[in-house]
Amino acid sequence: MKTRLTILLLLLSSVELSAQAKSYAKHNKGYFCDVGVAFGGMFPKNNSPKAILEVFTTHGYQFSNTFSLGGGLSTYNTQNIIVYCQVRFNLRNITDTRTHYTYISLRGGYSWSTWTGETWGEDKGPIIDPRFGWSFYTKEVNLRWSVFVAPSFYQFHFVPKIGLAFEF
Q: Is 116 exposed, middle or buried (0-12, 13-18, 19+ CB in 10 A)?
A: exposed
φ and ψ of 89, to 5 deg? -125, 120
| Claim: this prediction has a pTM higher than 0.85 | no
Q: Where are the domains of the chain?
A: 2-20+31-167
CATH topology of domain 2-20+31-167: Porin (2.40.160)
Q: What is the pLDDT of residues 21-68, one digit of tens each?
A: 566 666 678 999 999 999 999 877 777 888 999 999 999 999 988 899
| Residue 144 CB contacts under 8 Å (≥ 6 apart), including other chains | 24, 25, 135, 136, 137, 138, 166, 167, 168
Q: What is the pLDDT of residues 70-110, one digit of tens each?
A: 999 999 888 889 999 999 999 877 665 667 889 999 999 99
Euclidean distance between CA atoms 142 and 25, whole angstroms:
7
